[in-house]
Structure 1
């Protein structure tokens, strides 16, 4: 069984961080409405599922040949999170995504989450090593991941739609981004400590 469930905090923080998948969800909610955009959530979940497991497989297969790869990927993951924390998107990025993607399809969201660097972060740094030790752990961790993904996707649909519709002031969006950066850094402490342990 999984020793500590602190990874859930880091998972929430990373999922809440603005990224390509979140921007596509926000843009789709603005263009097509929240109800229709909810149909895209399984595509995002499937993209993350394949990407995380592909990274986990690469890490597992390379462990006998290059055992330090996991440490390198873990370090790169932490660096990526810190970069995200200090370079969070502004509302103008949502407007750019909205203009580039006039009609978002499930395939686009699947590919976006498949290529999302957050998948490496989940596989190398956030998900416990015990995730792949037994089918029960695997199911439990991905069930929690699914439960976290749903409200985060709904949040980005509502928040992005509000920003793109011009119903919020810029200062409110800036406060959310700063709060998101702070939450990300605080929730990543268990991951950073595991790296140095």
Structure 2
């Protein structure tokens, strides 16, 4: 896969709405663009925690342990479900606070099923691994900036008001719950 093809594949997958993007969008709506961008190192660390080992030895390990991929998928589903419940249960009065922190973004990203695809399929290379990882990191930052900007626009458009943030959190909660259900179905082979 050429660097241009890799960039296109990674970009398409990163742009897909998922748990990490939902949290970055919500952070942008709560904190504004600059505040959300301060969380991006946590997202990068989460991705690299999963992607690096998978890229270096993941295919061999998963080939020898069939249940491991299922276990990772179900763990991701459980974490996303926990996030959905936490967002749903936040009271309206807490709407002025910030529901997305570096820790939740880090864990969510480390368990993001997209990391499996990046680490096992797209990034491994015998001759261009460093280039692939640098390209991946740059695209992660760029896409996170885009999702944070969308959240910041929502913030400026009135989504920063307590009631609007409450509704946005509820919508994010429903979206995360749907992702969790899909991951559970994938994990059990449905």
**TM-score category (smaller protein):** 0.5 to 0.7
Query: Does the C-alpha gap of structure 1 residues 163 and 33 become closer, same or farther in structure 2, counting only changes over 3 Å?
Result: closer
Query: Could you say which structure has the higher helix fraction?
Result: 2
Structure 1 contact 30–160 (Cα < 8 Å) conserved: yes
* Count of aligned residue pairs for this structure pair: 134
Q: What is the match of residue 103 of structure 1? A: 99
Report matched runs for 1:14-163 at 5 Å.
Answer: 14-56=13-55, 57-63=57-63, 65=64, 102-127=98-123, 129-130=124-125, 133=126, 137-163=128-154
Once residues 144 and 8 of structure 1 are traced to their aligned partners in structure 2, the CA distance between those partners, rounded to angstroms, is 7
- How far is 1:53 from its partner? 2.2
CA distance in 1, matches of 2:152, 2:34: 12
Residues in 2 aligned to 1:161 and 1:112: alpha-carbon distance in whole angstroms: 21
Q: Is the 8 A contact 1:23 1:160 kept in 2?
A: no
Displacement of 1:54 in angstroms is: 3.2
In the superposition, the TM-score normalised over structure 2's length comes to 0.60
What SS does the aligned partner of 1:33 have? Answer: helix
Write the distance in 2 (CA, Å) between the matches of 1:158 and 1:167.
14
Mapped to 1, the partners of 2:29 and 2:155 lie a distance apart of 7
Q: Deviations over 1:88-134 (max 9, x none)?
A: xxxxx9xx67x69943221111101001000011122222x41xx35
- CA deviation profile, 1:45-95 (whole Å, cap 9, x unmatched): 1100111123332313355x47xx7xxx8xxxxxxxxxxxxxxxxxxx9xx
Deviation (angstroms), 1:36: 1.7
The one-character-per-residue Cα deviations of 1:130-170 (angstroms, maximum 9, x if unpaired) are 1xx35xx22211110111112211110111333466569xx
- Is the contact between residue 58 and residue 119 of structure 2 (CA under 8 Å) also seen in structure 1? no
Q: Deviations for 1:28-57, whole angstroms, at most 9, x for unmatched residues?
A: 111112112111111101100111123332
Q: Distance in 2 between matches of 1:48 and 1:162?
A: 26
8 Å Cα contact 2:47-2:115 kept in structure 1? yes
Name structure 2 gaps, 5 residues minimum.
Answer: 70-83, 92-96, 160-190
* RMSD of aligned alpha carbons: 2.9
TM-score by length of 1: 0.58
Q: Secondary structure at the match of 1:104?
A: coil
